[in-house]
Amino acid sequence: MKKAIYPGSFDPLTLGHLDIIERSVRLFDRVIIAIITNPAKQPLFSVDERKSMLHDAVGKRFKTVEIDVFHGLLVDFARRRGAGVIVRGVRAVTDYEYELQMALMNRRMAPTVETVFMMAAEQYSYVSSRLVKEVASMGGSVSGLVPPAIERKLRKKLQQA
Ligand code: PNS
């Protein structure tokens, strides 16, 4: 059974993430979406909010997808969950250096865990959670970049801020 982990901050989930999840579901028997809880980072959405957004967007659509939360080293989580593959989406070359460093560091710590890079559909090649938050916080439209329910949640959250 090929089990993969798709880790990330998902703050918030974008259509680029969803595209990678759909591709992963086609390749692997089981896909664990792993939301990082990083106390050093100040996310816009809490872990519970991110988890619930992911549940709404993918939980019901795919039977082979599971959503989990982790802290600490990703490779330790991968070992605990018995996953042999880490999935990462790469957009432009700017992602490459950081992703290469992470993949090689993870390989050094866990030689049997393989990182697999995937490209999302080209219409999402410039989409990032960071830019989505920036645009939404300044009143710009993020329609077509995140699921409609998340667009509404972003607007509500940013009104509160
Ligand atoms: O969505 P992001 O923020 O790009 O995801 C980054 C993530 C969560 C994959 C990365 O920060 C990570 O794996 N963190 C866990 C800590 C860890 O294992 N660090 C060593 C990586 S080489």
Q: Quick check: is 25 in a domain?
A: yes
Q: Supply the pTM of this predicted model.
A: 0.96
Low-confidence ranges of the chain (pLDDT < 70): 160-161
Catalytic residue of the set 9, 17, 30, 88: 17
Range of the domain at 99: 3-125
Q: Quick check: is 148 in a domain?
A: no
Q: Which spans in 6-141 are helix H?
A: 15-27, 47-54, 74-81, 93-109, 129-137
Q: Quick check: is 32 in a domain?
A: yes
Residue 129 annotated among the catalytic residues of the structure = yes
Q: Quick check: is 146 in a domain?
A: no
pLDDT of residue 41: 83
Cα separations in angstroms, 56 against 18, 63, 94, 126: 12, 13, 31, 24
Residue 91 annotated among the catalytic residues of the structure = yes
Residue 24 annotated among the catalytic residues of the structure = no
Q: Quick check: is 50 in a domain?
A: yes
Looking at the structure of the chain, the number of domains it has is 1
Q: Quick check: is 111 in a domain?
A: yes
Q: How many helices (H) and strands (E) does the chain have?
A: 6, 5
Nearest CA to ligand 1 atom 4: 8
Residue 17 annotated among the catalytic residues of the structure = yes
Q: Quick check: is 155 in a domain?
A: no
Nearest CA to ligand 1 atom 1: 8
CATH of the domain at 23: 3.40.50.620
Alpha-carbon span 33 to 87, nearest angstrom: 10
Q: Quick check: is 158 in a domain?
A: no
pLDDT of residue 161: 62
Catalytic residue of the set 3, 79, 81, 91: 91
